[in-house]
Structure 1
Amino acid sequence: MRFLLLLVALFPFSSAFAEQSQFVQRIISLSPHMTELAYSAGLGDKLIAASDYSDYSDYPEQAKKLERVANYRGIKMERILALKPDLILAWKGGNPSREMTRLQQLGIKIFYSNPTQLTDIADTIIKLGQFSDDPSIAKTAATQFKLQLANIKEQYKNKPKVRYFYQLSDSPILTLSDGNWPSPVFSVCGGENIFATSTAAYPQVNQEQVVVRQPDVIFGSSHATSQKNSPWLNWQGELPAVDNHHLYQLNSDWLNRPTLRTLNAIKQVCQLLDKARNQ
């Protein structure tokens, strides 16, 4: 009797997954991080198109072969409709709301992602797994991510804080406040953001404001690098980061895309903050 009750309890759950995965066979991704997460969740064989911004869907290698249906000018609505997708993967706040609303009105299902915490990466993969023919792929990827993240958190939970400045661009100089991606990457390593309490998510600042706050480390990314100069070559004044040569360029794809490769960004940032601690 117990066995029969167990089968009855499990059957609707299994059927729901089967119906969902069978319904979704043609997927378009309009965000590079969603493209990566889709592959991580076992949806690679269902992806038919992706975005092509300056930060375009280029990972994993298979993603480079996908048709491009969006760029910096906007979304190619006619082409998307012609491809007849069952599902569109989008970035909440990162894709134009008017076009996304129009697609929804036309009956296309949209899955939004807006990660703000590291755990959101694993959670998103699990949710995407419902559209896979084998949800265990997503579950395994999410579990491994959580385990590695937990190990890093344990390793760095009692380490001294290190004051840092993260430069998103050089003209104008943009940074970020706490609670906005990728601030969780720095936080888990014991980084203390000198603009943590800014009221803006990505505030524009000047050199004087940075000098006053005396960061121990300055991070930049390829997006912050001008055509000829690295972002920190113009830094002047009495800065611990400059005096001690703690000026580092980070891998933008690892850092700015909330995916499984965020673990690579965490390890990179942690190692560089350790250099400042150990000096």
Structure 2
Amino acid sequence: MRVAALCLLLLPVFSVAAEPVKTIISLSPHTTEMAYAAGLGDKLIAASDYSDYPEAAKTLERVANYRGIKMERIVALQPDLILAWKGGNPSREMTRLEQLGFKVFYSNPGSLEDIASTLELLGQFADSPIQAQRSASDFRQRLDVLRRTHQDKQPVSYFYQLSSSPMITVAGSNWPSQVFAVCGGVNIFADSRAAYPQISQEQVIIRQPEVIFGTSHAAADPSVWDNWRQQLPAVERKHLFTVTSDWLNRPTPRTILAAEEICQYLDQVRQSAL
């Protein structure tokens, strides 16, 4: 008989003792990656579509995608623990799984620090928490270096093109704005009311960003940068940069690679202005 469902929200302090588990299902790419980083890879028996890192994740059975989750299959697999994306997986189905007695760990990092905290929380389900603790420590150390290096540098205005058709960006403190902020990036759409607003080229031109970022997915079409003419400082100075999509858009330990990449690009922009 299963114990009552345990929903672990991503909080700075976690006081409930967890126990090692034998089988885990992950319902999002970022929780799959986090599980491996926390030393839980050998316990994963199924995952969502696009769970493609590390390489071993590609062999897992698929039980979720953007349309929803395969409820009957998950129930049949009887996992000891389900890793879910808070706000990303359908709430109705997740509530039903909890009612059936499944233990659910919800992840929705709202800050870079939350990535390290989540690793430590997940480590409590591993046979040993050492790998999770090491991963969290490495992430914090590299993040601290970036912050100390860039805390006093000149702010740089940027536009992040999340997709090109339609043109979508990110606003406010919504992910991954935190990554750009570490390096002194100032989002030209930070004050937008929508979390991920659809915007026009004219709106970007009015705001005159010093640099434009696109992801490797959004920029898969080589012509993506052709939309930007010589009406922007970023275009005139060739400050158009492509960042690795999975590093930036998934809140995982590899996010630090995106931060390091973006910091280098913004330092190039600052140097060119001298």
Question: When the two structures are superposed, what TM-score results if normalisation uses the length of structure 2?
Answer: 0.90
Secondary structure of 2:152's match? coil
Q: 1: distance between equivalents of 2:169 and 2:66?
A: 22
User: Is structure 2 residue 38 aligned with structure 1 residue 41?
Assistant: yes
Q: What's 1:231 paired with?
A: 224
Aligned mate of 2:256, from 250, 254, 263: 263
| Aligned residue in 2 for 1:242 | 235
Residue 128 (structure 2) aligned to one of 125, 129, 134: 134
Amino acid at match of 2:139: F
> What letter is aligned with 1:127?
L
Instruction: Give 1:139 shift.
Output: 1.2
After superposition, what is the alpha-carbon deviation per residue over 1:38-81, rounded to whole angstroms, capped at 9, x for unaligned? 111111111110001xxx11111111111111123321111111
- 3-state SS of the aligned residue for 2:234? helix
Shift in Å at residue 236 of structure 1?
A: 2.8
**Within-5 A mapping of 1:1-279:** 16=17, 20-21=19-20, 24-52=21-49, 56-225=50-219, 228-236=221-229, 238-279=231-272
C-alpha RMSD of matched pairs (Å): 1.3
Letter aligned with residue 25 of structure 2? I
Relative to structure 1, the CA distance from residue 44 to residue 27 in structure 2 (aligned partners, 3 Å threshold; closer, same or farther) is same
Shift of 1:223: 3.4
Opposite residue 117 of structure 1, the aligned amino acid is S
For the structure 1 residues 75 and 125, does the alpha-carbon distance in structure 2 shift closer, same or farther, using more than 3 Å as the test? same
Unaligned 5+ runs, structure 1: 1-15
Q: CA deviation at 1:94?
A: 0.8
Residue 237 of structure 1: how far off its partner (Å): 5.1
Opposite residue 168 of structure 2, the aligned amino acid is: L
Give yes or no for contact 1:27–1:49 (8 Å, CA) kept in 2: yes
**1:233 alignment partner, SS class:** helix
Equivalent residue, structure 1, for 2:6: none
Letter matched to residue 107 of structure 1: G
Q: Which has the higher helix share?
A: 1
Q: Distance in 2 between matches of 1:88 and 1:104?
A: 10
Indicate the residue corresponding to 2:7 in structure 1: none
Contact kept? 2:230, 2:236, Cα under 8 Å: no
Deviation, 1:27, is 0.4
- Which residue identity does 1:258 align to in structure 2? P
3-state secondary structure, aligned to 1:223: coil
Cα deviation for residue 178 of structure 1 reads: 2.3
Q: Runs in 1 of length 4+ with deviation above 4 angstroms? A: none
Question: Residue 68 of structure 1: SS of its match in structure 2?
Answer: strand
- List runs of 5+ in structure 2 lacking aligned partners: 1-16
| Equivalences, count | 256
CA contact (8 A) 1:211 1:237 kept: no
Distance in 2 separating the partners of 1:244 and 1:211: 15
SS at match of 1:102: helix
Larger radius of gyration: 1
Aligned residue identity for 2:254: R
